[in-house]
Structure formats: C-alpha cells, structure tokens
Amino acid sequence: MRAAFPFSAIVGQDEMKRALLIAAVDPKIGGVMVFGDRGTGKSTAARALAALLPPLGKGKPVPFVDLPLGATEDRVVGALDIERALGKGEKAFEPGLLAKADQGFLYIDEINLLEDHIVDLLLDVAASGENVVEREGLSVRHSARFVLIGSGNPEEGELRPQLLDRFGLSLEVRTSQDLDTRVEILRRCDAFERTPDAFAADWAKAEKKTLNKIAKAKKLLPELTVPDDVLRAASELCIAVGADGLRGELTLMRAARAAAALGGKTLVGVTQLRAVAPMALRHRLRRNVLDETGSTARIERALSELFD
C-alpha cells in the first residue's frame, strides 16, 4: 500500500478535517458520514487520519480497517475458522473485520453501494459496541468499539434516512473554486508523488503537532464542563431547525465538547456549538422534498437568528 498523504498537508476541507479530529478525540460521537463529489479528497482525508493517530497502549497502532466492497458477512462479523475445522477438526472462531476495528476506525468508501444487510449489521454493532456471533454452532461475543467513517456521492443514490440518522456527524465536501487553493492542492500532490519521503519529512512536524493536539484533547475531554446557557442554546437550536429526536442534541453537545477540547479550552462555549452545529444536525432535519433550501442553509439561518 502506498504511503498515506499527510493529514496536515490537506489543503482546505476544514469541516471534514475538523469532523475527523472530533471523531478521533471522542469515538462515542457515533461515526462520520462524508458526502461529496468525485475527486474532492474524501478517501485521502480518511486514510490520512489513520496514519496520523496516536498509538494505543503498548505502542499498538490505532486500527484503521478499510471495508472493501464485496466483503461477505462471515468476514465482517467473524466465523468458524474453516482451515482449522477441516484440517484439524477444531471448532475455533476466526475474528472478522469488526474485531480488527476494535478501538479504532472502520472506513467504508461508497457506503451507499454496500449491501444493505451489512450496513445494518455494522450500525447495530457500532451502536452497542459489541459483536455477538451466533452461527455454525459458535457462540461468541467480543468488544467492537469503533468509529464508522462512510463516504459516498449523493449522485450515486442516497443513503436511507433511517441509516443516515445513526451517523453522528455528516459532511458535504466540495472542491474549492479558488485558483490559488487549487494550485496549492496540485503542488502538494505533485510533490508527494515525486518524492513521497521528502514530502512526509517536510510535514512530519505538522503531523506531530496535530497528533499532540488530539492526545491533549483526549486528556482534556473528561474535565470539560458545559455551562447551562450553552446547553439551553443547543436545545433551542435543535427546536428551531426541527431536528428530530434526542440524538441530534446529544451529538451536538458531544461534538462541541470535543471541539472545545481540541481548541485547548476548559469550558464549552457557543462558539464551539456554532462551529459543529451544521455537521451534527444537517442530516437530521425533517426532509421537505418540495423545499429546495439545503439543510446547511437552514441551520446557518437558525444560528444567526439565535446568536447574532
């Protein structure tokens, strides 16, 4: 596999980078769904994050599992180890991708093309943090806490709404239309391609800084308090935009906390709330098919009405 493009070297795409960092700081956020046109660097960012994450205890790197399209259920949840069963007559459990992704990330490119039953299964496990296998005379349960990262192109067909709602954060990525930004993207791609090692070395410092930021934020997170007025503001916002259910409010608070931790703050403020509101809520708005106004615009409008 090619060396990953350094996360810190990704030009622009601030919201996507922020969302991925938030998920790295607080895995309980419940997954990140990235919608975007082709060639916007969705996969690049997700894979770059994997290469960056601080190791777990004992230097074990954070797992980043790429779920390939065409994966079968037995490989995802785990199944009877057929080699050993046929070769030695032993009944042994061969862990699947869910076990590999424990404590880390599970990335699914083009999630709207994954078989429905596998997506359902993934979301169930992601929500419960536990994988229960009852098949072929096996009865196994193991911890499977991971952050689900999905990406997809809305032009290829949408994700079912009931599925979308279960992602914590959702993003819409677009290509920048600014020439200087695009030139910078190309320059960095070119440099990375020609001399990947030198490029990685150039960015090593920035990567280290990002990594430290994540580690610090993780430590800071449990100590963060959310003042009552911020809690109230979050509720007001959810009511104003008509975000269904409690899940939106909860995710909004969690994301704001992680954002504050990333900023080195000890108190969650309205600033953080505003910064994460679009990604935490845009996929939860009740859909009015005849209303052309995008979800993001509706949230922005509510934000400025409430807080400006």
Partner 1 sequence: MDPFGDALLAVRLLKRDPAGLGGMILRGAGPGRDAVLAELGPMRRLPVGIDDEALIGGRDLAATLAGQGGTVRPGLLAQADGGLLLVSMAERMSDAVAARIASVMDIGEVVIERDGAGARHPARFGLVLLDDGQGKERVPDRLAERLAFRFDLSDVRLMEQAPVTPALSRGTASSSNIAPVSGTPGQARGDGIRALASVSLALGIDSVRAPVMASRVASGLAELENRAEPNEADIATAACLVLAHRATRMPSAAEDDAPPPPPSSSDGESQIGDTLDDVVLEAVTAALPPDVLAAIAAGAGRCTSNSSGGGERRKSPMRGRPLGARAGLPRGGARLALIDTLRAAAPWQKLRGADLASGDRIAIRRDDLRIKRFETRADATTIFAVDASGSAAAARLGEAKGAVELLLAEAYVKRTEVALISFRGDSAEVLLPPTRSLTRARRSLADLPGGGGTPLAAGIDAARLLGEAVRGKGRTPFVVLLSDGRGNVGAEATMPAAKAFGASGLGAVFVDISNRPRSEGAELAAAMRARYLPLPRADAVGLRDAVKAAQ
278 touches 296 (CB < 8 A): yes
Query: Is residue 97 at the binding interface for partner 1, with CB under 8 A as the rule?
Result: yes
Site for partner 1 in 248-307 (CB under 8 A): 287, 289-290, 292
Residue 206 CB, nearest approach to partner 1 (Å): 20
CB-nearer residue toward partner 1: 133 or 303: 133
Q: What are the structure tokens assigned to 218, written together?
A: 């993780």
Q: Which residue from 157, 222, 223, 246 is in contact with partner 1, where contact means CB under 8 A?
A: 157
Pick the catalytic residue from 84, 145, 182, 247.
Answer: 247
Cross-strand pairs, 180: none
Q: How many CB atoms lie within 10 A of CB 175?
A: 16
Query: Is residue 172 at the binding interface for partner 1, with CB under 8 A as the rule?
Result: no
- Residue 112 phi/psi, 5-degree rounding, is -70, -5
Half-sphere exposure of 265 (CA within 13 A, CB side): 16
Residue 142 CB, nearest approach to partner 1 (Å): 17
Half-sphere exposure of 140 (CA within 13 A, CB side): 22
Query: Is residue 141 at the binding interface for partner 1, with CB under 8 A as the rule?
Result: no
Q: Which residue from 55, 56, 60, 86 is in contact with partner 1, where contact means CB under 8 A?
A: 86
Distance (Å, rounded) from C-alpha 54 to C-alpha 64? 12
Q: What type of residue is 203? A: W
Query: Is residue 190 at the binding interface for partner 1, with CB under 8 A as the rule?
Result: yes
- List CB contacts of 214: < 8 A, sequence separation 6 or more: 21, 24, 25, 52, 53, 54, 262
Query: Is residue 1 at the binding interface for partner 1, with CB under 8 A as the rule?
Result: yes
CB-nearer residue toward partner 1: 20 or 106: 106
Q: Which residue from 124, 158, 229, 305 is in contact with partner 1, where contact means CB under 8 A?
A: 158
Query: Is residue 43 at the binding interface for partner 1, with CB under 8 A as the rule?
Result: yes
Q: Which residue from 57, 58, 59, 87 is in contact with partner 1, where contact means CB under 8 A?
A: 87
CA nearest to 16, candidates 248, 127, 154, 176? 176
CA nearest to 101, candidates 164, 42, 148, 48? 148
Length of the chain: 308
Largest CA distance in the chain: 70
232 among known catalytic residues:
no
Q: Which residue from 54, 68, 129, 264 is in contact with partner 1, where contact means CB under 8 A?
A: 68
Q: Which residues lie near partner 1 (CB under 8 A)?
A: 1-2, 37-41, 43, 47, 66-76, 79-80, 82-83, 85-89, 91, 94, 97, 109-110, 113, 115-117, 136-137, 153-158, 160-161, 174-175, 177, 179, 182-183, 185-187, 189-190, 193, 287, 289-290, 292
